[in-house]
Structure 1
Amino acid sequence: MLLKDYRPILHLFILAVVSYIIHKGVLFVCDIQDQKFHYTLEWLYFVFFAFATVLFMILLKFKTTHFDNIGMLFMGGTFIQMFFFYLILRPILTDKFENMAVEKINFFITFILFLLFETLLTIRLLNEKP
């Protein structure tokens, strides 16, 4: 029963691991060293996964009591995440090094991937009967 309740978090973990492996493979093939970036790929995926997990824990907690407000709660949580991710992105935006374009693209790819994962899993959560 416990695994069934937290299945979206397990799916999020699997999606994050698969996308991390693909992302790391693309960086390896393109010979891009992410150790020179402000934030390594591992750190970015950890932070994005941690924020998404907290959001889903909140959504799953309120699923039984306030099912009608799950969509609004998701929107509010996503807005708060965007604020914190902007604070994380600020050092990348202000630096003028030559690798900054690659690091910005790296950050936004990770951001869009996790936003997509969260949206798809929330849609699946909303399609379940309360």
Structure 2
Amino acid sequence: MKINLNKIPIVFQLLLLLVFVYGNILLLEAVFSLEEKWKSAYYTFYQTFSFFAISSSVILLLNLIIQKKAKDQIGYVFLGIMTVKVIAAYIFIAPALELKTASSQFEKNNFFIYFLTFLAIDVYLTAQILNKKN
């Protein structure tokens, strides 16, 4: 059975992707026993995931608003929004970067993986908005 994601509303696509990513992260955490490393990290798994989930939701909301007002500007607005997201992500992770503990490298690596994962989600959803015919 083939699922056509283009027929699913964009907001539900985001929710499906968030559930998929969340489930995979929990599965990897259980398989590799990462609970102890998260306990010693500056931010918890839930704080980090929430930061990226909320920022991706805001980006989608802003893209949908821009789509209604000036669809031809979505690409430029997306680049500006992503610049703000990168700055916000740096501000978010800065306290953890200053720590020189054993868990800081773990947290840096996870943060980078989350950043790339949610960047891919943001790009995918923006491309879906740009490819809509209406």
Same fold (TM over 0.5): yes
Which of 82, 85, 88 aligns to 2:89? It is 85
Query: Match for 1:44: what amino acid?
Result: T
Asked if residue 40 in structure 1 is aligned to residue 24 in structure 2, the reply is no
2:42 partner SS: coil
Q: Which position in structure 2 is the counterpart of 1:97?
A: 101
Q: Which position in structure 2 is the counterpart of 1:120?
A: 124
Displacement of 1:35 in angstroms is 2.5
Residues 69-108 of structure 1 deviation map (CA, whole Å, 9 limit, x = unaligned): 0000111001001101000111121111011111111111
Displacement of 1:63 in angstroms is 0.5
Asked if residue 58 in structure 1 is aligned to residue 78 in structure 2, the reply is no
Which of 18, 21, 40 aligns to 1:19? It is 21
Unpaired runs of at least 5, structure 1: 1-5
The alignment's C-alpha RMSD in Å is 1.4
Q: Which position in structure 2 is the counterpart of 1:110?
A: 114
1:16/1:45 contact within 8 Å kept? no
Distance 1:114 1:8 in 2: 15
Asked if residue 69 in structure 1 is aligned to residue 73 in structure 2, the reply is yes
Stretches (4+) displaced over 4 A: none
**TM-score of the two chains, using structure 2 as the length reference:** 0.87
- Alignment: residue pair count: 125
Distance 1:122 1:46 in 2: 20
Q: Which position in structure 2 is the counterpart of 1:28?
A: 30
Distance 2:11 2:107 in 1: 27
Unpaired runs of at least 5, structure 2: 1-7
Q: Which position in structure 2 is the counterpart of 1:3?
A: none
